[in-house]
Amino acid sequence: MGLFDVLSKKTDVQYFTEGNNFFKHGKYAEAVASYDKAIAIKSDYTNAWAMRGWALSNLGHPEEAIASYDRAIAIDPNNIGAWYTRGWDLYNLGKYTESITSYDKAIAIKPDYADAWYTRGLALGELGKYTEAVASYDKAIAIKPDYTEAKQNREIALQKRDKHPSK
């Protein structure tokens, strides 16, 4: 192997950065390919696994995305991004209880994660747990007072709770 071969060979970080650039421009298939190259060099590259999942999610492959998040979490159980996006994909698959578990993990790592509290509220609402949903929206709003979506969904959850007082 000559000097040119050594100098022209990309590192895991370079492939990861390349993947992020593709991701930023909506080229998700290319992003996945770059993340795969980074992972081929460094199999425990947690952020590459997490971003690979997010790119797969954007490509409409939530089950594959969840498998990537799970790999990231197995390497680093504190990967908040993997927990959050895993929760979102589970939510979109209608697996609300599992999504809440993922949001709870994200919140345990970062208690002031307004988006996790908000999406947790969405999942609770889907389960008909309106009182708990309101509490989650309240947390999101306490963290981010201008959180319009949380305020709107809080009102919807309150109305539904009032129609179904046992929930």
Give the dihedral sign, CA 28/38/71/50. Answer: negative
For the chain, the structural domain boundaries read 8-82
Confidence grade of residue 134 (pLDDT, cut at 50, 70, 90): very high
Q: What mean pLDDT comes out for the span 124-149? A: 97
| Half-sphere exposure at residue 33, Cβ-oriented, CA atoms within 13 angstroms | 5
Fold of 8-82: 1.25.40
pLDDT in tens, 30-86: 999 999 999 999 999 999 999 999 999 999 999 999 999 999 999 999 999 999 999
> In the prediction, which pLDDT does 163 show?
84
> How far, in Å, are 10, 14, 124, 134 from residue 128 at the CA level?
50, 46, 6, 11
Query: What is the C-alpha to C-alpha distance for residues 98 and 164, in angstroms, rounded to an integer?
Result: 24
Query: What is the C-alpha to C-alpha distance for residues 66 and 56, in angstroms, rounded to an integer?
Result: 9
> In the prediction, which pLDDT does 40 show?
97
Q: How many helices (H) and strands (E) does the chain have?
A: 10, 0
What pTM, to 2 d.p., does this model score? 0.89
DSSP-assigned letter for residue 164: S
* Contact present, 132 and 160 (Cβ < 8 Å): no
> In the prediction, which pLDDT does 4 show?
44
Place of tokens 């949380």: 150
pLDDT in tens, 85-125: 999 999 999 999 999 999 999 999 999 999 999 999 999 99
Query: What is the C-alpha to C-alpha distance for residues 18 and 74, in angstroms, rounded to an integer?
Result: 24
